[in-house]
Amino acid sequence: MVHLLIVGRLMLWPRAVPWVPEANVEPLATIGAALARGPWAAVCDLGAPLLMLAPLGVLLPLAAGRLNVSPVLSLLRTVGAGGLLALVLEALQASVPGRVPDVDALLLNILGVALAHLAVVPRARARLRRRAEDLRGPTPKITRVGPLPKADVLSASRTYL
């Protein structure tokens, strides 16, 4: 929750700037421009949107608390939720003074969520599953019980009234 508050503050706080560039709706235009300016500019310009929502790639599966889940479905759910959040934040930026929505920031946010999920969650789940199995110990053995003796159903010594 604290992470989302910090992200909201960083992405939706108005900026006092003398001019604002127009919104970027062409995919990969900002990424190409940052890469053309050199590696250091690319790291600085592309690193912030890449890392902005990356912790959600780990925090969202943690919130679900499931250990035995398909890795592909987990990735799809996490990336979908992170993508929807990134889309909402980019749409809200359109109404904030000094902020401009950028489709490349949206793509980088989603990529950051996916990379963080792939880097941490499968190994963490495997480790937690091993730990849970170690805590449970071996499966208990149940001793075999022989067949029960046959009961005399129509015994004359019993009355059922």
Q: Is the pLDDT of residue 50 over 90?
A: yes
For 121, residues 6+ apart whose C-beta sits below 8 A from its C-beta are 57, 58, 61, 71, 74, 75, 78
pLDDT in tens, 71-106: 999 999 999 999 999 999 999 998 898 888 999 999
pLDDT in tens, 4-40: 899 988 888 888 888 888 888 999 999 999 999 999 9
Q: When comparing pLDDT for 88 and 132, which is higher? A: 88
User: Poorest-confidence range of 10-24, 41-55, 134-148?
Assistant: 134-148
Check: CB of residue 59 under 8 Å from CB of residue 117: no
Round to whole Å and give the CA distance between 73 and 121. 12
Per-residue pLDDT at 23: 87
Per-residue confidence at 137, pLDDT binned at 50, 70, 90? confident
pTM (2 decimals)?
0.78
Round to whole Å and give the CA distance between 95 and 12. 9
Q: Is the pLDDT of residue 158 over 60?
A: no
Give me the torsion for CA of 107, 41, 37, 6, rounded to 10°: 40
Round to whole Å and give the CA distance between 112 and 109. 5
